[in-house]
Amino acid sequence: MTTRYKMTMAYDGHLFHGFQMQPNQRTVQGTVEEALSKMTKGKRVIVEGSGRTDAGVHAIGQVIHFDYPGKQIPAEKMILALNSMMPLDIVFKDCEIVEEDFHVRYSAKGKWYRYRVSQDRFVDPFRRFYTGHFPYPLDINKMQKAAQDLIGTHDFTSFAASGGQIVNKVRTMYYVNVQEDKENNEIIFDFICSGFLYNMVRILVGTLLEIGNGKRPVDDFPRVIKAKNREEVRETAQANGLYLYHVFYEELPNKYRQDRDL
């Protein structure tokens, strides 16, 4: 007898070699599974994540599920137990018991990634692990206008790094926003999509930065999408500015569906 738990967590990805378990590496999945093994007196409990964030990538709203063997533990006690065993760069924020057919990846309706870019002239030592860095002039209006060409259902082959195992690269982009955080001298990029390909957000950000800096025309996205060629966009933003912000399991609210009029 097992109980399936769905849990939302946040982590600082700086000292992790990504989410997915890897031999002789500190990973998020490995850290959580080690704690669960202690709770089950040595039984392995497999943790599934909604997204396999890379080394250095952070999460504010990563979601996991696992099947816990034996006596059912109330959700509020499960979150207390796991948080008591977590290192300081992981915290569980929510926990619920779900049906056996719930799957953290396959049940998701959409994912929200956020990317932060510092525009400081020099790298801030206190933010260097939590923002990308681009100290050159940027035209916010150009980036906002270009971003709207990403809305809708497209083949995003041109924005997928090599190494990904997904064959079908068609995804629906529901929402893209580029805004300036003047207080922190940052540019914030938000993307909500049905799913993301390997390094897709970082490549999109790199391309938008080229557009904002005048190195690429503002209307270039339709051409690049049509080309289905990774060679058309070579820039990839740094991992440390990327955050898995939220995973949607209900239908997306209209305010996050810029595609609703298509």
- Give the domain CATH number at 53: 3.30.70.580
pLDDT of residue 167: 81
pLDDT of residue 262: 46
Residue ending a domain, among 32, 65, 98, is 98
Q: What is the pTM for the complete model shown?
A: 0.95
pLDDT of residue 159: 96
Residue 251 lies in a domain: yes
Same domain, 244 and 122: yes
Q: Where are the beta strands (DSSP E) in the chain?
A: 2-11, 48-49, 58-69, 90-98, 110-118, 132-133, 152-155, 170-181, 186-193, 242-248
Residue ending a domain, among 50, 76, 98, is 98
Sign of the CA dihedral with 146 first, then 208, 184, and 246 last: positive
Of 230, 126, 116, 103, nearest to 179 by C-alpha is: 116
Residue 105 lies in a domain: no
Give the angle subtended at the CA of 156 by the CAs of 200 and 118, to the nearest 5°. Answer: 30
Same domain, 130 and 43: no
pLDDT of residue 104: 97
Q: With beta carbons less than 8 A apart as the criterion, state whether 40 and 68 touch.
A: yes
Of 257, 256, 258, 178, nearest to 211 by C-alpha is: 178
Domain range for 136 is 110-256
pLDDT of residue 164: 66
Distance from C-alpha of 90 to C-alpha of 129, rounded to nearest angstrom: 16
> Would you give per-residue pLDDT tens digits along the chain (262 residues)?
899 999 999 999 999 999 999 999 999 999 999 999 999 999 999 999 999 999 999 999 999 999 999 899 999 999 999 999 999 999 999 999 999 999 999 999 999 999 999 999 999 999 999 999 999 999 999 999 999 999 999 999 999 988 767 789 999 999 999 999 999 999 999 999 999 999 999 999 999 999 999 999 999 999 999 999 999 998 999 999 999 999 999 998 888 888 755 4
Helix (H, G, I), strand (E, B) or coil at 74: coil
Same domain, 134 and 55: no
Of 223, 115, 224, nearest to 159 by C-alpha is: 224
Question: Which residues participate in catalysis according to the annotation?
Answer: 54
Same domain, 85 and 133: no
Residue 237 lies in a domain: yes
Distance from C-alpha of 66 to C-alpha of 178, rounded to nearest angstrom: 35
Residue 51 lies in a domain: yes
Residue 261 lies in a domain: no
Q: With beta carbons less than 8 A apart as the criterion, state whether 252 and 193 touch.
A: no
pLDDT of residue 257: 86
Same domain, 155 and 184: yes
pLDDT of residue 258: 83
